Amino acid sequence: MEQKTLEVRNLTVCFRTEKGIIRPVNGVSLDVPAGSIVGIVGESGCGKSMTARAVMGLLRYPGKVTEGSVLLNGRDITNLTEKERRKLRGAEVSMIFQEPMTSLNPVVRVGKQVEEAIRLHTDCTKEEAKARTLEMFREVEIPEAETRYKCYPHQLSGGLRQRVLIAMAMICKPSLLIADEPTTALDVTVEAQILKLLEQLRDGGTSVLIISHDLGVIAKVCDYVYVMYAGRIVEEAETEVIFRRPAHPYTQGLFRSVASLREGGSTLETIPGVVPNLHRLPAGCSFSLRCGECDARCEQELPELKETEPGHKARCFRTGKEAAE
Ligand SMILES: Nc1ncnc2c1ncn2[C@@H]1O[C@H](COP(=O)(O)OP(=O)(O)OP(=O)(O)O)[C@@H](O)[C@H]1O
Ligand SMILES: [Mg+2]
């Protein structure tokens, strides 16, 4: 049987707000098989980062996991204590956060920051920690590692800062790396380099979960893709399959907006409308408000995530088998 590094089952995150309870993550299930890169894609606000934070046990108050489970290498980590989690984070699972500038301490040299990450998890000496940091800098292809080791974050380019963060995340060789928008702040050349680095990590045995609003990024490196909308997975398949035959109207809309850019269009064709306010979700399909194919049933009834062909699932009444009936 295929080994799974991460298994998320029916994960639900609730937020109690003044206007009532919302579920930014609503029954999400996903797998990251060992040695693969898996992507979560969706527009801003659809719950991608919240899913990652819930997996890491890093939800901010008042966010709370109310249902579901998270298994890391087969071990249930849903209800660990904070102490147990601290042991796990960095050592077995690491995350690169969406805000690269705020993830590094501006007044500490980057080499020292990576060293601290090692010394948190092992009792190696200062010298050993430094040697491993330099080795890791070379592994993530930071040129002139010795010089860069002594730099402060602001002295490095965006691409190098991202490499430092990846080095920090990888220093204890975790089995899973979660990268939230790892290339959003970077230009396309640097983006390609960082994506190549993530592929090298995968080939070295680390499983990677990439979160991005950019289908182009996902297409370049992911083996398998989950499309998220308003807190739910609305489509999933192998990357190639989803690119050839996107089944959900939302995914099709995401593709059109990428295609219009690629064809040299000056305006980005976007999906009309906005992600719905989580306080006012429609009774039926969350995408029904923006969907060109929506009918009365879609407005009333929530579609399940169903197979449209072997290995390909979509949450839509209008697609696949049902539409053919
Ligand atoms: N403290 C909070 N209170 C209430 N709602 C919140 C809070 N923080 C986030 N949310 C809501 O949770 C939802 C999911 O947010 P999340 O950050 O996971 O989105 P995202 O998919 O990562 O978006 P982006 O692409 O912008 O990073 C959003 O609709 C957001 O408005
Ligand atoms: Mg986010």
Q: Each residue of 122-177: pLDDT tens digit?
A: 888 999 999 999 999 998 999 999 999 999 999 999 899 999 999 999 998 899 99
**Where do the structural domains in the chain lie, given as residue ranges?**
4-92+174-324, 106-172
Superfamily designation of domain 4-92+174-324: P-loop containing nucleotide triphosphate hydrolases (3.40.50.300)
What pTM was estimated for this model as a whole? 0.93
Rounded CA-CA distance 152/108 in Å is 6
Between vectors from CA 30 to CA 198 and to CA 22, what angle results, nearest 5°?
Answer: 110
Rounded CA-CA distance 165/103 in Å is 8
Q: How much of the chain, in percent, has pLDDT values that exceed 70?
A: 94
Between vectors from CA 223 to CA 239 and to CA 238, what angle results, nearest 5°?
Answer: 40
Whether pLDDT at 7 is above 50? yes
pLDDT attached to residue 324: 46
45 CA → ligand 1 middle, Å: 5
Mutate to test the pocket of ligand 1, among 14, 15, 25, 50 (most ligand atoms within 8 A of CB): 50
Q: Determine the atom of ligand 1 nearest the C-alpha atom of 53.
A: 18
137 CA → ligand 1 middle, Å: 33
216 CA → ligand 1 middle, Å: 22
More confident residue, 323 or 27: 27
Residues within a 6 A CB radius of ligand 1: 15, 17, 24, 42, 44-50, 98, 213, 278
Number of neighbours of residue 187 by Cβ within 10 angstroms: 11
Q: Determine the atom of ligand 1 nearest the C-alpha atom of 25.
A: 14
Mutate to test the pocket of ligand 1, among 23, 48, 51, 211 (most ligand atoms within 8 A of CB): 48
Mutate to test the pocket of ligand 1, among 49, 184, 217, 280 (most ligand atoms within 8 A of CB): 49
Between vectors from CA 254 to CA 249 and to CA 256, what angle results, nearest 5°?
Answer: 90
Q: Each residue of 78-107: pLDDT tens digit?
A: 999 999 999 999 889 999 988 766 789 999
Closest residue by Cα to atom 18, ligand 1, is 47
Q: Determine the atom of ligand 1 nearest the C-alpha atom of 52.
A: 18
Partner residues linked to 91 by β-bridges: none
Q: How much of the chain, in percent, has pLDDT values that exceed 90?
A: 73
Rounded CA-CA distance 249/285 in Å is 11
- What stretches of the chain adopt beta strand conformation (E)? 4-17, 20-33, 37-41, 64-72, 75-76, 93-96, 176-180, 207-212, 224-229, 232-238, 306-309, 312-314
Strands 312-314 and 75-76: unpaired
Helix, strand, coil proportions of the chain in percent (round to 5)? Answer: 40, 25, 35
**Phi (first) and psi of residue 27, to 5 degrees:** 70, 45
Closest residue by Cα to atom 12, ligand 1, is 24
Least distant ligand from the CA of 15? 1
Are 186 and 158 within 8 A, CB to CB? Answer: yes
More confident residue, 85 or 268: 85
Per-residue DSSP letters for 26-80?
EEEEEEEETT-EEEEE--TTSSHHHHHHHHHT-PPTT-EEEEEEEEETTEE-TT-
Rounded CA-CA distance 186/201 in Å is 19
